[in-house]
Amino acid sequence: MTENQELVNKAYSLLNIVSETGKLRKGTNESTKAIERKQTKLVIFAEDVSPPEVVAHITPLCKEREIPCIGVPLRSELGKAAGLSVPTACVAIVDAGEGKNQLTDLVSEISKAGSRKPAEKKAPAEEKPAEAPKEEAPAEKSEE
């Protein structure tokens, strides 16, 4: 099991506890509001969100507010761990409840691993050289 997979499993375990005894903000909009208000202790977002722009602002916003965040592979698993019957793109832990110790441990491991951004799965798209604009000959005016 890779180090990243261990962090993901710990995040799911923490979410199971927090969903029962603590406070979670579920969904991208609620999570974004909690981040902006600096109410959250940890943000967990799914990497398989389509289109990716839905959660693209989460990582920079967390970095700006100095809030730890971690990406997990599947939004279906994230929703299940958060106690939802549907997939979710993002959750924010506001109060860990009985999972305070686990939260502290996970945050310190995320800091050590530098896991603010998930590993890129896609190779960067190659840029095509821009074609020079075609110059059209000015149309000749015919005088009648």
Separation CA 80–CA 13 (nearest Å): 11
With vertex at residue 99, the alpha carbon angle to CA 23 and CA 21, rounded to the nearest 5 degrees, is 40
Extract the residue ranges of the chain whose pLDDT is less than 70. 1-2, 114-144
What pLDDT does 5 receive? 86
Identify which of 68, 78, 74 has the alpha carbon closest to the alpha carbon of residue 12. Answer: 78
pTM: 0.75
**Is 3-113 a CATH 3.30.1330.30 domain?**
yes
Per-residue burial over 44-65, b if 16 or more Cβ lie within 10 Å, else e, is bbbbbbeeeeebeebbebbeee
**Strand pairing report for 42-46 and 69-72:** parallel
pLDDT digit string, tens, across residues 6-24: 889 999 999 999 989 889 9
